[in-house]
Amino acid sequence: MQHLLEKAQQTHSLTRDEICALLRTTDPQPLFQTADQVRKKYVGNGVYLRGLIEFSSYCKNDCMYCGLRRSNRRAQRYRLTPEQIVDTARQAAELGYKTVVLQSGEDAWFSTDTLCPIIREIKKLDVAITLSMGEKTREAYAAYRAAGADRYLLRIETTDKNLYEKLDPGMSFDNRVRCLHDLKELGYEVGSGSLVGLPGQTPESLADDLLFFKNLPVDMAGIGPFIPHPHTPLGGETTDGHFELALKMMAIMRLLLPDSNIPATTAMETLHPQGRLLALQCGANVVMPNVTATIYRKQYELYPGKVCTGDSATSCRGCMQAKIESIGRFVSPGKGFHGDYLKNR
Ligand code: SAH
């Protein structure tokens, strides 16, 4: 294993079999330490904070793993008004966030004509804008980009086409890939990522996910452990091993794409009380604290037990900064585009 880590540290490339070997290791500490060193060398000790606004829990899709799926009749649905979205973004900017992330289910209420003015208003706050609203047409992506959106986050979830189409009924894997290519061509910084621990997933398919991110290449990849939601068809599945496997995926991602932005995901904190801090020490350099009004947070229930749903935007900002400083890191002041650290060095 040591020789694999040395190879990855020098060349930032690994074969599918080599990635599988790292994913299967029963002693992941050397992998985690190597990822931490590579993170420090390529993106430094700064951590970028992105303020997450969950603006609608309506979704037309029916993904088997997601609590927002349309067949989940018990899900509580809410939709912020355009004014509320812009106000929340303003609060985020006042709290010092340099990026806001607008995330939602696939909610047709938000047409391009509704979204573009929201993007233009938020842009006046001098923040970078990340969108995460699912699959749209190329024209829609182009319109958001022209309105001022900088980044788009669309996880591939799994690159196993059969598994993807089984778990996301009615959706097409090829269309999701088309979206990622369109976003790149339109000049977005592109974030993708995977769910880790889905039933039917194998080390081979996870290795393919990482090679997919490397080949695109993505600017960012969010790797989250799958957490079964009781009101979905996958509600009876386990979370056993998902946390460690997600950390391994994240660490290998850092080796393969050394200067990329990698978030310590909220789902990691849900499975482990120190999940995000551990992730920051295994390759991650981004955290996305929630800035959504507390009353709506519980209703954006992708999975159960989501952390910080009772907290305010102000307390999440302060709490996260203190945690980051407790491990000898600091909150980066910039907007945190891919490669900024190398440019500023
Ligand atoms: N509609 C948008 C945003 C989806 S929600 C889109 O399609 O991109 C953001 C992410 O939550 C998803 O990409 C998925 O990876 C994650 N997610 C959904 N259900 C989950 C679960 N049960 N456990 C962990 N993460 C989940």
* Ligand 1 and 106: CB distance under 6 A: yes
DSSP letter string, 66-114: -TT-TT-TTS---B--HHHHHHHHHHHHHTT-SEEEEEES--TTS-HHH
CB under 8 Å, gap of 24 or more: what pairs does 213-216 form? 213/253, 213/256, 213/257, 214/13, 214/256, 214/257, 216/180, 216/184, 216/190, 216/192
Per-residue pLDDT of 147-156, as tens digits, reads 999 999 999 9
Q: Which one of 53, 303, 307 would you pick to mutate in the ligand 1 pocket, going by the greatest count of ligand atoms within 8 A of its CB?
A: 303
- Of all protein residues, whose CA lies closest to atom 6 belonging to ligand 1? 134
Per-residue pLDDT of 178-236, as tens digits, reads 999 999 999 999 999 999 999 999 999 999 999 999 999 999 999 999 999 999 999 99
Mean pLDDT of 318-340: 95
Mean pLDDT of the residues in the chain = 97
Ligand 1 atom nearest the C-alpha of 135 is: 7
* Ligand 1 and 303: CB distance under 6 A: yes
User: How many angstroms separate the alpha carbon of residue 263 from the centre of ligand 1?
Assistant: 14
Please give the Cα distance from 240 to 227 (Å, whole number): 10
Per-residue pLDDT at 341: 85
Ligand 1 atom nearest the C-alpha of 155 is: 13
How does residue 343 score in pLDDT terms, banded at 50, 70 and 90? confident
* Ligand 1 and 267: CB distance under 6 A: yes
Whether the pTM exceeds 0.95: the reply is yes
Percent of the chain topping pLDDT 90: 96
Contact yes or no for 219/261 (Cβ under 8 A) = yes
Mean pLDDT of 136-148: 98
Whether 176 shows a pLDDT value over 80: the answer reads yes
* Ligand 1 and 66: CB distance under 6 A: yes
Per-residue pLDDT at 163: 98
Whether 342 shows a pLDDT value over 90: the answer reads no
Mean pLDDT of 326-345: 90
Per-residue pLDDT of 37-51, as tens digits, reads 999 999 999 999 999
Contact yes or no for 253/213 (Cβ under 8 A) = yes
Per-residue pLDDT at 237: 98
How does residue 345 score in pLDDT terms, banded at 50, 70 and 90? low
Per-residue pLDDT at 195: 98
Count how many residues are written for the chain: 345
* Ligand 1 and 164: CB distance under 6 A: no
Using omega within 30 degrees of 0 as the cis cutoff, is the peptide bond preceding 230 cis? no
Whether 242 shows a pLDDT value over 70: the answer reads yes
Contact yes or no for 89/122 (Cβ under 8 A) = yes
Mean pLDDT of 67-83: 98
How does residue 70 score in pLDDT terms, banded at 50, 70 and 90? very high
* Ligand 1 and 195: CB distance under 6 A: yes
- Of all protein residues, whose CA lies closest to atom 7 belonging to ligand 1? 134
Per-residue pLDDT at 344: 67
Percent of the chain topping pLDDT 70: 99
Q: The tokens 């269309």 sit on which residue?
A: 175
